[in-house]
Chain A
Amino acid sequence: AQTIHQWPVAEIKAVGSPLSLGCTIKGKSSPNLYWYWQATGGTLQQLFYSITVGQVESVVQLNLSASRPKDDQFILSTEKLLLSHSGFYLCAWSRDWGQDTQYFGPGTRLLVL
């Protein structure tokens, strides 16, 4: 069975500080990977997707970046956090590209002060 793990579970960070959120998928080789973000009271938005190692595509510009250093790992980061980055970050994976079902991790809650 496939498992998806996100770290950390929650973070409180200062404006202007760096951020790194991680996601690991176990039990599936070459998954498609996705980052989503939900502001408090807002809608879930897809931020990035990756079909293969080393390749990441941006969907929404939020002064964030993403990388896929390994087949099973997806990293979301920024060098300078903004207040508007607060929210809930979800990592997801799918087997096939296109319309395939996406399965989500437990999420990371971020509060920027």
Chain B
Amino acid sequence: GDSVTQTEGQVTVSESKSLIINCTYSATSIGYPNLFWYVRYPGEGLQLLLKVITAGQKGSSRGFEATYNKEATSFHLQKASVQESDSAVYYCALSPNTNTGKLTFGDGTVLTVKP
């Protein structure tokens, strides 16, 4: 089946430093999946951060960026300068190119930004 791998369970970064959260995926269906980053801030629900549906394209939101790399099957999340308010849990997810409504998540990465 499909799978999403986030290699870092926890990441700690100092404020104003750059960030990268790794995400790689494996999709068994023919065609390219849609890729997502969701975020859960403390005490809140899961929110869509960004989405990319076309291989090679970049999505961006709130200063975060992610590029759909079909050759490397990666969708890493990056930010040039993090803020303390970015502290949250980040989830990478994929929706396969099938008519199933399925969304497969990675295990999540807990980001802590130190002041």
Give every chain A residue within 8 A of B100 (Cβ-Cβ).
Answer: 98
Give the most central of A43, A45, A51, A92: most B CB within 10 Å. A43
- A104 near B45 with CB under 8 A, answer yes
**Which of A42, A49, A106 contacts B101, CB < 8 Å?**
A49
The interface residues of chain A, by DSSP majority, are classed as loop
Interface presence of B61 (CB below 8 A): no
Give me the interface of B with A, judged by CB distance under 8 Å: 33-34, 36, 38, 44-48, 51, 53, 91, 95-103, 105-108
Known: A46-B103, A99-B97. 9 other contacts (CB 8 A): A43-B105, A43-B106, A98-B99, A99-B95, A99-B96, A100-B95, A102-B103, A103-B48, A105-B45
Give me the interface of A with B, judged by CB distance under 8 Å: 32, 34, 42-46, 49, 51, 59, 90, 92, 94, 97-107
